[in-house]
Chain A
Amino acid sequence: MSLDPRIPDGPLNDKWNTFKDHCKLVNPSNKRKHTVIIVGTGLAGASAAATLAELGYHVKSFCIQDSPRRAHSIAAQGGINATKNYPNDGDSIWRLFYDTIKGGDYRAREANVYRLAQISNHIIDHCVAQGVPFARDYGGLLANRSFGGAQVSRTFYAKGQTGQQPEGTVYAARNARSGGHRRPRAGNYHPQADYGTAGAPPGGCGAAV
């Protein structure tokens, strides 16, 4: 099989917008015809479950823990990067992109990393809207600290519990999405043993055992 990373054409800073402008959409009344199985309820899985359920998909969300809130993302301590440049110390999307590519010793995809840097600021806004109690300075603005491999302060944090706080809010979002049919179906303590591939297109992914 050839490995096509399917990176959109165009300048680096337009690729993600170009994709969003031209990707196909699913009609709102068709979304409920699809069931999305999500394995894991850490920050990635729970945020996907909350967002896709909000959009109207049927979501089945599984985890191996007794409660989805015990996913290991809660153990993350230090922080979450974003290029808000609140300290006015010269940060930018480009710098986060560059630091990340260099930090990874030039073994990551430029397009993915640039998209990550672009999205970083939206994550902070979204988390704050959901109630994550990030540290703030005396004047009430969100505070930053520094992490390795950067010469700016771009890390948002909640003491030493920066994973636990968003995990709490994303868990609430996963559970509380608008109620009714939009609520993800939860399966806690579901250690899964294997997966099958079924359906079209060939090899399309289906059942979990």
Chain B
Amino acid sequence: MLLCSGGYGNVFYLSTNGRNSNVTAAWRCYKRGAYFANPCYTQIHPTCIPVSGDYQSKLTLMSESLRNDGRVWVPLKPGDTRPPNQIPDEERDYYLEKRYPTFGNLVPRDVASRNAKHMTDEGRGVGATGLAVYLDFRDAIERDGRDEIAARYDNLFQMYQRITDENPYEVPMRIYPAVHYTMGGLWVDYHLMSTVPGLFVLGEANFSDHGANRLGASALMQGLADGYFVIPYTLGDYLARNPLPPVNTSDDAFAEAEASVESKTQKLLSIQGDKTVMQFHRQLGQLMWDHVGMSRDRNSLKNVIDQIQSLRQEFWQNLRVPSAAHTLNQTLEYAGRLADFLELGELMARDALTRDESCGCHFREEYQTSDGEAQRNDEDYAYVAAWGYTGDEQAPELHQETLTFDHVELTQRSYK
């Protein structure tokens, strides 16, 4: 069996993922013996259209490729509310170019997101909410002409204009980081097999190739590498080495799984409380964004574990799912997804709390260099954290796969 069910970014409620994307397939496999690796590694993508209000249901990505030609900036002075085109160059802070002259606007995503957050924390964010920075194509259009820029990005510009009613050929885009991709996922070995024999995990659903931060344009590469070129060999090797007697739906395992689904379904329907699934999802998302998002610290993580546990308790006491089980009931389906997210959220916070270092997207306030970059601790944390399920409402067990680096030297990552 091959699990190719994508990532779990929707635990944050707002993300660039499809509304339907969920962790259920991976989570149910976790509960049946597959280890979950590095759950706290979540990519917050720097170039997304900013949140505009409370009732938004999803966020829209603006491709990183735009940073080939767009320049990221904020006003030099906090609280500068002039329209962007009226702010002269000397009063603009092209902070990525200034701070990272070698890579400029093309620093990796974790670095770009963290810097955008620093700017808005300093009160230099732009737009109505103050939670945005500019991505400006003025200079590129002057240099290459509007036609050339349109040839590269026109459909993205159109998408932006449809959503924001602003024309990025005329005024800078406003962008802000948003949850986009999860580097964590089910643990797999070199063969892409999980800790459940015969269960292989491919693409974003596994944890394997991106470490603590994925580079742009590597997700399609990994998904297609796994599916087209790796699994045909490793699956064949597994099938040829292991005797596999036929199984069918009269097997005890099937009956057991069916019974457990049935009882969970009845439980969800029988609560009949007075909060909707979406209300719970929004609450969970806000907790995750505030405490397990772009920056984390020990106390906040300890705190959020308690809060997620109480929210989960409330979910099972006060949820309302209308209608019945044996009909098309999308609220019921959604409730099952959220029940899994409510458990995963806690595991993510535990993983982030256990990893007492900063690395890639995992930025712990306690561990930073003097100039605010992520401070790794290779001596103690150069490992994959693979969590094993031990039972409902019980602490999961941490297994470590030590990472050895024979070919690259472990250095402080620098894009300056």
Task: Determine the chain B residues whose CB is within 8 A of the CB of A181 once the complex forms.
Answer: none
Tell me how many residue pairs across A and B have CB atoms closer than 8 Å. 395
Known contacts A148-B112, A205-B1; A1/B360 CB under 8 A: no
Task: Determine the chain A residues whose CB is within 8 A of the CB of B196 once the complex forms.
Answer: 197, 203, 205
Closest-CB distance, A174 to chain B (whole angstroms) = 10
Task: Let me know if B221 and A116 touch, CB within 8 A.
Answer: yes
Task: Let me know if B32 and A197 touch, CB within 8 A.
Answer: yes
Known contacts A107-B360, A123-B228; A78/B65 CB under 8 A: yes
Report the Cα distance A76→B63, complex, angstroms: 8
Report the Cα distance A65→B247, complex, angstroms: 27
The answer to whether A67 has its CB under 8 Å from any CB of chain B is no
Closest-CB distance, A5 to chain B (whole angstroms) = 5
Please name 15 further chain A to chain B contacts, defined as beta carbons within 8 Å, in addition to the given A201-B197, A204-B244, sorted by A numbering. A26-B236, A38-B1, A39-B5, A80-B220, A81-B221, A98-B408, A101-B211, A103-B210, A104-B209, A106-B376, A106-B410, A148-B109, A149-B216, A199-B246, A199-B247
The answer to whether B178 has its CB under 8 Å from any CB of chain A is no
Task: Let me know if A146 and B106 touch, CB within 8 A.
Answer: yes
Task: Let me know if B65 and A147 touch, CB within 8 A.
Answer: yes
Residues of B in contact with A (beta carbons under 8 Å apart): 1-6, 16-18, 20-21, 24-25, 28-29, 32-33, 35, 38, 41, 61-65, 67-68, 102-103, 106-110, 112, 152-156, 159, 183, 187, 189-191, 195-199, 202-205, 208-237, 239-249, 251-254, 256-258, 260-261, 264-265, 333, 336, 359-360, 374, 376, 378, 382, 384, 386, 388, 399-401, 403-408, 410, 413, 415
Bin chain A's interface residue count: 35 or more
Task: Let me know if B4 and A149 touch, CB within 8 A.
Answer: no
Report the Cα distance A7→B208, complex, angstroms: 13
Closest-CB distance, B401 to chain A (whole angstroms) = 4
24 A-B pairs in the complex with CB atoms less than 8 angstroms apart: A3-B35, A7-B190, A25-B240, A26-B239, A42-B204, A43-B203, A44-B224, A45-B203, A47-B224, A51-B228, A52-B231, A72-B6, A78-B216, A100-B211, A104-B360, A106-B413, A107-B41, A112-B209, A115-B225, A119-B230, A154-B217, A196-B251, A205-B199, A207-B248
Task: Let me know if A207 and B220 touch, CB within 8 A.
Answer: no
Report the Cα distance A127→B229, complex, angstroms: 12
Task: Let me know if B253 and A3 touch, CB within 8 A.
Answer: no
Report the Cα distance A204→B251, complex, angstroms: 13
Report the Cα distance A145→B124, complex, angstroms: 30
Known contacts A48-B202, A113-B209; A43/B220 CB under 8 A: yes
Closest-CB distance, B186 to chain A (whole angstroms) = 12
Q: Mark A1-24, 1 if CB is under 8 A from B, else 0.
A: 101111110001000000110011
Counting chain A CB atoms within 10 Å of each CB, the highest count among B202, B215, B231, B415 belongs to B215
Task: Let me know if A107 and B253 touch, CB within 8 A.
Answer: no
Report the Cα distance A28→B337, complex, angstroms: 40
Q: Mark A29-63, 1 if CB is under 8 A from B, else 0.
A: 00000101111111111111111100100000000
